[in-house]
Amino acid sequence: MTVDVMAIATVTATTPRVAKTILGRGVKILSPERILMPYEHVAFKIDCDEFIIVFIPTLKRVFRIKKELVDAIPDRIFADTPPPTSQLNNLPDYMFCGTNLMCTNHCNLACIYCYGECSPKKEVTMTKGVAIAAVDYALNCTTRIGRKLAYANFFGGEPTQVWDLITVVSKHMRENAAKLGLRSRLTITTNGCMDRKQAHWLAENLDSINISIDGPKDIQDLQRSMSFDRVFATAQEIYKIAPQKLRFRATVSAFSVHSFSRIVDFLGINFPGCPQMYEPLFAMGRAKKLVQAMPDMDVFFAAFLAALPIATKHNCRLKTSVLNLTSKSQEFFCGVASRNFMITPYGEVVACNRMADRDVNIAADAFIYGRYDNSQGRFVFDDVRYQHLKTFTVSSIPSCNMCFARSSCKGDCIANKAAIHPENFQTEQSYRCQAVQQFVKNVLIYITDHGNNYLLA
């Protein structure tokens, strides 16, 4: 006779000997280890021809099992740890510990695929008053909910084109965070086209510098306005001063995808240890009519995996957005689902930087949920829009329900889906769903072969 684990849990919380006395002979006493393991986790069994991968996303565990044992593995596994809880699930509405300041839509480049269609011709710049108000809002929220770190990211357009705004806001953030007993984190996403003094200042004063660079000169110049020499010089300057602050973001086109390993090697040789993030070119914004410039996703993901050993050689970690095997959240691809507090150059509040301009993206309205009201001197929010943002999670996509890859891709980027399906995009599956599934499977196989050391997964 076997007694249900939970039923005798209280009794056996004493000792097995005492429990046996209470329950009588013939009762099988389960080990204390088993009794203290009440949490159930979904186990996905993935057929890999010669073996089975068992993937338990909520435990962050991956196993390789002999094929003949597959029937012995149930769909639910018990463990002593509960499913992870993301901090994203527990924040009150409108409580943002940081802000992403889209300082201007002006850019000194005009890259072939820019989703915001930013260029030297655009000239709208955020006022200092709005930027300071956003930072103060974040500092206030951070204090109110008892967090210790507030942050701001400078974004664009090209944020270094409004240099005065960056230096003023940085000083304000550092000083006021310190007054409140908070730490502050300042970061920037830049195209790297700046002078040496500016690069030096960023390396000394910010905490992280994310440079967009698509690869060696032939690729960079083709895709990003002949900017290689300037960007490379900036990256070298920053690396010399603060290598730990530098990271790279590359967009991969149908043209450059065949040079993926060469790009990883190029950045690794010149900037060893710096993380590299890769995303495929997507046909929106300026690239809306460049569908042929989008790389084949199977080719993109195969190239990513093939480049991993090269990244390992240079001590660089690789990242791509659908690879999130270790994030605690099981639901959110990004902060779009009501956690992003991004400010446009016009002073509007938006949940996604790719959906910040109504003139560029027809679906942008669904993502813009507030604005800075000059007459009231504060941010005002549209609660209907804000609450709607909360549905932008993988749980809203019926076809993702029992997919083993959902804990990694989280349903993929909703802005891309909104560009394809301006209505009901939150329930659509990703345009690259099948390729992502195969990729996640291949990554799991790779990890059981090589470990996870150099994947920003």
Coil, helix or strand for 63? strand
CB of 27 within 8 A of CB of 20? Answer: yes
Total residues at the site for another protein (CB under 8 A)?
80
CB of residue 374 vs another protein: minimum separation in angstroms?
26
CB of 248 within 8 A of CB of 211? Answer: yes
CB of residue 73 vs another protein: minimum separation in angstroms?
7
Q: Which is nearer to another protein, 377 or 449 (CB)?
A: 449
Q: How far apart are CA 360 and CA 356, in angstroms?
A: 8
**Which residue of 3, 9, 27, 37 would you call a contact of another protein, by CB under 8 A?**
37
**Which residue of 3, 32, 34, 46 would you call a contact of another protein, by CB under 8 A?**
34
Coil, helix or strand for 376? coil
Determine, following the binding rule CB under 8 A, whether residue 189 of this chain makes contact with another protein. Answer: yes
Q: Which residue has the tokens 């004493």?
A: 14
E-strand ranges in 57-204 read: 61-66, 76-79, 98-102, 149-155, 183-190
**What is each CA distance from 44 to 40, 210, 226, 236, in whole angstroms?**
13, 35, 47, 45
Determine, following the binding rule CB under 8 A, whether residue 187 of this chain makes contact with another protein. Answer: yes
- CB neighbourhood size of 80 (10 A): 11
- CB neighbourhood size of 147 (10 A): 17
- Name the residue among 389, 435, 436, 395 with its Cα closest to residue 415: 389
Coil, helix or strand for 232? helix
Strands 348-350 and 368-373: antiparallel
Determine, following the binding rule CB under 8 A, whether residue 396 of this chain makes contact with another protein. Answer: no
Structure tokens at 389: 């943002």
Q: Which is nearer to another protein, 74 or 398 (CB)?
A: 74
Q: Which is nearer to another protein, 33 or 49 (CB)?
A: 33
Q: Quick one: which segment of 10-18, 60-68, 362-370, 373-381 binds another protein (CB under 8 A)?
A: 60-68
Determine, following the binding rule CB under 8 A, whether residue 65 of this chain makes contact with another protein. Answer: yes
Determine, following the binding rule CB under 8 A, whether residue 448 of this chain makes contact with another protein. Answer: yes
User: Which residue type sits at 117?
Assistant: E
Q: Which is nearer to another protein, 265 or 320 (CB)?
A: 320
Q: How far apart are CA 277 and CA 209, in angstroms?
A: 13
Determine, following the binding rule CB under 8 A, whether residue 150 of this chain makes contact with another protein. Answer: yes
Determine, following the binding rule CB under 8 A, whether residue 452 of this chain makes contact with another protein. Answer: yes
Q: Quick one: which segment of 257-265, 298-306, 411-419, 420-428 binds another protein (CB under 8 A)?
A: 411-419
Q: Which is nearer to another protein, 34 or 128 (CB)?
A: 34
**Which residue of 8, 19, 44, 98 would you call a contact of another protein, by CB under 8 A?**
98
Q: Which residue has the tokens 């770190």?
A: 149
Q: How far apart are CA 129 and CA 106, in angstroms?
A: 19
Q: Which of residues 317-376 bind another protein (CB under 8 A)?
A: 321, 324-329, 332-335, 339-340, 353-354
- Name the residue among 345, 292, 309 with its Cα closest to residue 113: 292
Determine, following the binding rule CB under 8 A, whether residue 59 of this chain makes contact with another protein. Answer: yes
**Which residue of 20, 147, 217, 358 would you call a contact of another protein, by CB under 8 A?**
147
Q: Which of residues 248-307 bind another protein (CB under 8 A)?
A: 249, 251, 279
Determine, following the binding rule CB under 8 A, whether residue 144 of this chain makes contact with another protein. Answer: no
**Which residue of 12, 125, 190, 416 would you call a contact of another protein, by CB under 8 A?**
416
Determine, following the binding rule CB under 8 A, whether residue 205 of this chain makes contact with another protein. Answer: no
Determine, following the binding rule CB under 8 A, whether residue 456 of this chain makes contact with another protein. Answer: yes
Q: How far apart are CA 389 and CA 88, in angstroms?
A: 13
Q: Which is nearer to another protein, 1 or 72 (CB)?
A: 72
Structure tokens at 338: 């009501």
**Which residue of 13, 149, 269, 380 would you call a contact of another protein, by CB under 8 A?**
149
Q: Quick one: which segment of 173-181, 301-309, 368-376, 443-451 binds another protein (CB under 8 A)?
A: 443-451
CB of residue 269 vs another protein: minimum separation in angstroms?
23
CB of residue 114 vs another protein: minimum separation in angstroms?
6
Q: How far apart are CA 243 and CA 53, in angstroms?
A: 37
What are the residues whose beta carbons fall under 8 Å from the beta carbon of 118, sequence distance 6 or more? 105, 106, 107, 110, 156, 157, 158
Q: Which is nearer to another protein, 259 or 329 (CB)?
A: 329
CB of residue 196 vs another protein: minimum separation in angstroms?
23
**Which residue of 104, 108, 125, 142 would you call a contact of another protein, by CB under 8 A?**
142
Q: Quick one: which segment of 196-204, 244-252, 255-263, 421-429 binds another protein (CB under 8 A)?
A: 244-252
Q: Which is nearer to another protein, 210 or 220 (CB)?
A: 210
Strands 378-381 and 368-373: antiparallel
Q: How far apart are CA 288 and CA 294, in angstroms?
A: 10
User: Which residue type sits at 97?
Assistant: C
CB of residue 189 vs another protein: minimum separation in angstroms?
5
Q: How far apart are CA 185 and CA 156, in angstroms?
A: 18
Q: Which of residues 78-97 bind another protein (CB under 8 A)?
A: 78-79, 86-88, 96-97
Q: How far apart are CA 177 and CA 165, in angstroms?
A: 18
